[in-house]
Amino acid sequence: MKKAVIFGTFDGVHEGHRHLIREALAHCDEIIVIVARDEHVLELKGHIPFKNLDDRMEMISLETGVSVVVPSDEVLGSYLLLSEHKPNVIIFGYDQDALMEDVNAWMQDNNIHIECVQASAYMPEIYKSSFLNEEQVTDEEELLQETI
């Protein structure tokens, strides 16, 4: 059985995430999703996710094709979960260049080889969590103003 890993924040699952899952399924039989911890999102993106880790893990676990969902390593960049789950392939999102570079450096340092594939973008001008969450906040602010 061929296993793939995908990484992400998954702060609201959208069609872009589903596209990533579909592309991963083209390479494997089982998908392991590693969901970023809240503190890592804060460190890397400068803000905490709108949804907490447990909610984000629950949402992505409901997606067709997802076999296993785990929180990311406690230590950012340690990639112990890759050693633990031993995927055959890692599928990176179209915008995860820095992560792919970091994982490749880790593999080189540890004499590990896992195939790495970068997924294509799926309408990134629409389906990008930062855009969607920004719209959600704007909508919520407008609703709040209407009730005041």
What's the CA gap between 76 and 50, in Å, rounded? 20
32-71: pLDDT as tens digits: 999 999 999 999 989 999 999 999 999 999 999 999 999 9
Residue ranges of domains in the chain, CATH in brackets = 3-147 (3.40.50.620)
Q: Which residues of the chain have pLDDT under 70?
A: 124-125, 127-148
Q: 8 with 17: CB under 8 angstroms?
A: yes
Q: What was the pLDDT predicted at 54?
A: 97
